[in-house]
């Protein structure tokens, strides 16, 4: 079955600490992978995406993610977290030409301590 | 430029009433999506519009749900005879042509059915 798992429902980090949010997927075709962020009361915003090529992708707000096919993972990282990064983070997987059938994880809620 | 606009931002309705949710996509975006975000669940695809093509309604959970998109721009999602299980945040997203174009989300409409 196709699925996206974000193992951590909630994470708390201190401001300035590094961050890694995990995303594992099960998908039959070549995966297109996305990370979106949802701030309180806001819609989702695309952080970064991976379609092909370099497996380390850079996104907005200083985030990056690495696609590891052997581990079926697409973990999101940031070297130094800012208080404004507190939000809900969603990983999603889809296939070429099929945005409407994106499979979404349940999200990881990030809290940042001052 | 303006992003995706959704109205109302919050809607409280009594069980059995009909509701209409509005989405105004980014100008020039030909693709429009409706999603439902329920507590503890991932985003659920509802319906997809692309240009003048017939909409993909495969995600609509029941025949009480319908949507239209007039003039290739504004879309309305209608829920008839609302039930308590319809309570959720309804998100609209738009994108450029190309099914892997990044989705641009509105802030959503939080629907509460009492």
Instruction: Report pLDDT digits (tens) over B77-101.
Output: 999 999 999 999 999 999 887 656 7
Instruction: Report pLDDT digits (tens) over B9-46.
Output: 999 999 999 999 999 999 989 889 999 999 877 889 99
Give the Cα-Cα-Cα angle B13, B19, B25 (nearest 5 degrees): 125
- Interface mutation target, options B43, B88, B89, B97, chain A, most CBs of A under 10 Å: B43
Q: According to the model, what pLDDT value does residue B100 have?
A: 66
Q: Searching chain A, which residue's CA lies closest to the CA of residue B32?
A: A100
- B59's CB contacts (< 8 A; 6+ apart) are A100, B44, B45, B46, B47, B48
- Structure-token pair, residue B86: 């319809």
Is B48's CB within 8 Å of A45's CB? Answer: no
Omega before residue B8 within 30° of 0, cis: yes
Q: According to the model, what pLDDT value does residue B52 have?
A: 83
- Structure-token pair, residue A33: 């992978």
Cα separation of B75 and B58, whole Å?
17
Q: How far is B74 from chain A (nearest CA, A)?
A: 18
């Amino acid at each position: 079955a196709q699925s996206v798992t974000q193992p951590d429902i909630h994470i708390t980090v201190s401001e300035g600490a590094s961050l890694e949010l995990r995303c594992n997927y099960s998908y039959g075709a070549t995966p297109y992978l996305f990370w979106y962020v949802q701030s309180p009361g806001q819609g989702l915003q695309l952080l970064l995406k991976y379609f092909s090529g370099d497996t380390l992708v850079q996104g907005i707000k200083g985030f990056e993610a690495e696609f590891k096919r052997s581990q079926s993972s697409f973990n999101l990282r940031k070297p130094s977290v800012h208080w404004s990064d507190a939000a809900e983070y969603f990983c999603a997987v889809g296939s070429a030409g099929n945005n409407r059938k994106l499979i979404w994880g349940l999200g990881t809620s990030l809290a940042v301590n001052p | 430029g303006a992003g995706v606009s959704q109205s109302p931002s919050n809607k409280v309705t009594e069980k059995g009433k009909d509701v209409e949710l509005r989405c105004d996509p980014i100008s020039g975006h030909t693709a429009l999506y409706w999603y439902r975000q329920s507590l503890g669940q991932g985003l659920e695809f509802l319906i997809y519009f692309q240009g003048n093509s017939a909409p993909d309604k495969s995600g609509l959970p029941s025949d009480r749900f319908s949507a239209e998109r007039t003039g290739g721009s504004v879309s309305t999602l209608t829920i008839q005879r609302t039930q308590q299980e319809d309570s959720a945040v309804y998100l609209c997203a738009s994108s450029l042509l190309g099914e892997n174009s990044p989705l641009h989300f509105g802030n959503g409409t939080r629907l509460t059915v009492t």
